């Protein structure tokens, strides 16, 4: 029902490991969903299957009601650059590119003009408090600053859903909370939904909903969003 992103019966296996053993989930615009659970429970796999990085072995993911499993690799790759944004642990910025080039990268890869892409990137860097740091390389940024560049990169192309995998994992508590505030504000401004994997209860507490994954299944959810 009006889900931006929905999954039904997701299965992903690696040999005899059932990384995902039948996951249903519904994510609406503006949702902030935290995915928690023990190490190895399938959180990263879930994020990768939801975002089309990995193809499910069973079940289906729907973006705006459209099955993404039907897309070929080129189509899924285009989807990742336009409909989705990604924030990973410790930024994963391209070391040779400046902050503004890193933030503009998804737009450039999607065929945007350099001028327009860098313009949008600079706007988001400024909104995230990084004005004046646009030309710096990742090695010239603090961990918290690098994560803000990663947020700008995830948001500047105005995706429908932002996926974040342990984005505060390499930050101290306070910087992690500040990063979370920046992420949630930016997502709210663009109307993007956020799916955030975290080990940190204080980070999960800031989500609107929490689902716990155990052995590739949703063990417990305050609300998985799935209605009968």
Q: Which residues bind Mg ion (CB under 5 A)?
A: 43-44
Continuous segment of H or E residues that includes residue 87: strand 84-88
> Binding string, 34-73, against ligand ADP, x = CB under 6 A?
---x-xxxxxxx----------------------------
The span from the CA of 44 to the CA of 165, in Å, is 7
Q: Does 19 bind ligand ADP (CB under 6 A)?
A: yes
Nearest to 92 by CA among 163, 42, 161, 188: 163
Query: Which positions ≥6 away from 221 have C-beta within 8 Å?
Result: 209, 210, 211, 212
Shortest distance (Å) from residue 5 CB to ligand ADP: 18
Minimum CB distance to Mg ion smaller for 4 or for 197:
197
Minimum CB distance to Mg ion smaller for 44 or for 98:
44
14 interacts with, out of ligand ADP, Mg ion, none, CB within 5 to 8 A per kind:
ligand ADP
Query: Which positions ≥6 away from 119 have C-beta within 8 Å?
Result: none
Minimum CB distance to ligand ADP smaller for 171 or for 213:
213
Shortest distance (Å) from residue 16 CB to Mg ion: 20
Continuous segment of H or E residues that includes residue 68: none
Shortest distance (Å) from residue 215 CB to ligand ADP: 9
Shortest distance (Å) from residue 98 CB to ligand ADP: 31
Minimum CB distance to ligand ADP smaller for 76 or for 127:
76
Minimum CB distance to ligand ADP smaller for 20 or for 194:
20
The span from the CA of 69 to the CA of 60, in Å, is 6
96 interacts with, out of ligand ADP, Mg ion, none, CB within 5 to 8 A per kind:
none
Minimum CB distance to ligand ADP smaller for 19 or for 149:
19
139 interacts with, out of ligand ADP, Mg ion, none, CB within 5 to 8 A per kind:
none
The span from the CA of 163 to the CA of 47, in Å, is 7
* Tokens representing residue 32 in the block: 């902030």
CB 99 within 8 A of CB 133: yes
Question: With CB under 6 A, what is the number of residues at the site for ligand ADP?
Answer: 11
List the Cα angle 154/63/33 in 5-degree steps: 60
CB 213 within 8 A of CB 36: yes
Site for ligand ADP, rule CB under 6 A: 14, 17, 19, 37, 39-45
């Amino acid at each position: 029902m009006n889900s931006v992103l929905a999954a039904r019966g997701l299965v992903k296996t690696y040999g005899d490991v059932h990384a995902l053993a039948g996951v249903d989930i519904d994510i609406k615009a503006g949702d902030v969903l935290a995915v928690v659970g023990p190490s190895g429970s399938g959180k990263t796999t879930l994020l990768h299957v939801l975002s089309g990085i990995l193809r499910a072995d069973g079940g289906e993911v729907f973006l705006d009601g459209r099955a993404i499993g039907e897309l070929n690799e080129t189509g899924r790759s285009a989807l990742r650059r336009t409909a989705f944004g990604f924030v990973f642990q410790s930024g994963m910025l391209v070391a040779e590119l400046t902050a503004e080039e890193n933030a503009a990268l998804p737009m450039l890869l999607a065929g945007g003009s350099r001028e327009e892409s860098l313009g949008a990137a600079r706007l988001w860097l400024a909104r995230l408090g990084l004005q004046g740091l646009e030309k710096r390389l990742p090695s010239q940024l603090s961990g918290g600053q690098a994560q803000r560049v990663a947020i700008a990169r995830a948001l500047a192309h105005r995706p429908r859903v932002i996926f974040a995998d342990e984005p505060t994992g390499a930050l101290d508590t306070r910087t992690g909370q500040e990063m979370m505030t920046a992420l949630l504000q930016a997502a709210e401004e663009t109307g993007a939904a956020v799916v955030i994997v975290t080990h940190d209860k204080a980070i999960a507490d800031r989500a609107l909903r929490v689902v716990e994954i155990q052995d590739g299944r949703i063990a417990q959810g305050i609300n998985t969003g799935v209605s009968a």
